[in-house]
């Protein structure tokens, strides 16, 4: 495969004039349906848009430019707003937009990123990035092959979201709206179905924290390491082997996560380990739907934090146990489907990432 050398600015047109930052206060007063993009993707939704069409968004600043823990480039389609932390570009007659996206996400650009405390990729340096491209038909063919994998991954991801929503909606229907099977036959007492009660979480689960720091993460680890972020890291060690609901002890969302098996845990994350069989998913969705409680009890002006007694004293509605078991069985079946889809996505991602460098280097030839 013949490759021609270019500067990135020669094969892309820049549309940075379309971007405009909005403060959180401005966005709060402009809530709507259009995605609001930052350096790493959608961060909000607003009532207006600046871009209409398909563009490539490339991170201008942020720690990820150095760590590369996530893609630095992404395709955006439709109508949306972009802030000043992402460059907006479009392909010209020399390039395919999707091919350039794959290329940038797998290209070493360290020499073009400035600043250590706050890494930055200026428009000038972006345009100077040296690349090598095959013919346009070959770019399009390679992008088409790789995009087929991404479409399968995106389809599985959508199915995962639907399944998660299904389990959550069923929990709301049965345990919030009280429309569980044969609910019409059950007497209401003090606002709850007869036999239901309000109990503290500490009576149904053991609460503990981890011991490690973020620096203990290892790329070649075989066990998940949960810290305060939503990104799951890896560790060669495990400290828990159980069914658990994991909640970050610091932050602003306190989003819980369900996991069963061996894992490592950050010292500022909490492990909620059910002490009763067949109640794990019930507790997980009860906590998920009541996480505003965490914001009400968190302390600290700069970084809101939780303490162990915030968990043990958390009050939850505990339904009649046979109904809880029935729900837990349904949720477990849904979780199994989700796990299978996640495994498929892991395999598809691995296959795509093995193909990508071979296709782009010409080691694996494609017919344009």
Q: 321: which 2 tokens?
A: 């146990």
Torsion angle, alpha carbons of 210, 213, 215, 221, to 10 = 0
Instruction: Give pLDDT tens digits for 121-130.
Output: 999 999 999 9
Label residue 230 by pLDDT band (50, 70, 90): confident
Structure tokens at 207: 């609460």
Mean pLDDT of 244-273: 94
Residue 280 pLDDT exceeds 60 = yes
Tell me: pLDDT of 368 over 60: no
pLDDT at 36 (0 to 100): 96
pLDDT at 189 over 70: yes
Strand ranges inside the chain, DSSP E: 4-7, 12-14, 31-38, 41-46, 51-52, 55-59, 73-76, 79-82, 86-91, 130-133, 188-189, 192-193, 197-200, 205-209, 223-226, 233-235, 240-248, 257-265, 269-274, 315-318
pLDDT tens digits, residue range 117-158?
889 999 999 999 999 999 999 999 999 999 999 999 999 999
For the stretch 352-362, pLDDT in tens is 999 999 999 98
* Digit-coded pLDDT (tens) for 13-69: 999 999 999 998 999 999 999 999 999 999 999 999 999 999 999 999 999 999 888
**What per-residue confidence (pLDDT) applies to 337?**
98
The predicted pLDDT at position 79 comes to 97
**Residue 241 to residues 41, 260, 273, 325, 334, Cα–Cα distance (Å):** 34, 7, 10, 22, 22
Q: What is the pLDDT of residue 1?
A: 83
What are the distances in angstroms from CA 136 to CA 95, 97, 352? 6, 10, 21
Residue count (the chain): 368
């Amino acid at each position: 495969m013949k490759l021609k050398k270019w500067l990135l600015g020669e094969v892309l047109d820049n549309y940075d004039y379309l971007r405009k930052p909005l403060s959180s206060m401005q966005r709060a007063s402009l809530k709507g349906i259009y995605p609001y993009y930052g350096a790493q993707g959608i961060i909000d939704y607003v009532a207006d848009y600046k871009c209409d069409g398909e563009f490539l968004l490339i991170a201008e600043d942020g720690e990820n430019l150095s760590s590369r823990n996530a893609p630095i480039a992404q395709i955006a389609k439709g109508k949306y707003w972009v802030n000043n932390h992402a460059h907006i570009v479009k392909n010209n007659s020399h390039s395919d937009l999707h091919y350039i996206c794959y290329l940038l996400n797998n290209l070493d650009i360290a020499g073009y990123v400035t600043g250590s405390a706050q890494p930055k990729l200026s428009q000038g340096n972006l345009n100077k990035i040296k690349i090598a491209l095959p013919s346009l038909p070959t770019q399009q063919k390679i992008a088409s092959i790789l995009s087929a994998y991404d479409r399968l991954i995106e389809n599985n991801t959508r199915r995962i979201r639907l399944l998660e929503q299904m389990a959550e909606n069923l929990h709301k229907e049965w345990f919030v709206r009280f429309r569980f099977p044969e609910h019409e036959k059950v007497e209401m007492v003090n606002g709850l179905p007869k036999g239901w009660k309000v109990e503290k979480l500490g009576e149904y689960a053991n609460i503990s924290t981890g011991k490690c720091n973020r620096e203990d993460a290892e790329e070649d680890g075989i066990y998940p390491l949960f810290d305060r972020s939503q990104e799951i890291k890896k560790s060669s060690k495990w400290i828990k082997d159980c069914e658990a609901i994991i909640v970050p002890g610091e932050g602003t969302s306190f989003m819980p996560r369900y996991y069963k098996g061996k894992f490592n845990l950050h010292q500022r994350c909490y492990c909620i380990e059910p002490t009763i069989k067949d109640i794990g998913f019930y507790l997980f969705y009860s906590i998920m739907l009541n996480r505003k409680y965490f914001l009400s009890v968190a302390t600290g002006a700069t970084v809101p934090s939780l303490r162990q007694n915030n968990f043990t004293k958390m009050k939850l509605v505990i339904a009649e146990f046979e109904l809880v078991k029935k729900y837990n069985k349904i949720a477990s079946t849904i979780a199994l489907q989700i796990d299978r889809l996640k495994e498929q996505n892991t395999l598809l991602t691995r296959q795509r990432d093995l193909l990508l460098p071979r296709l782009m280097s010409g080691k694996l030839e494609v017919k344009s």
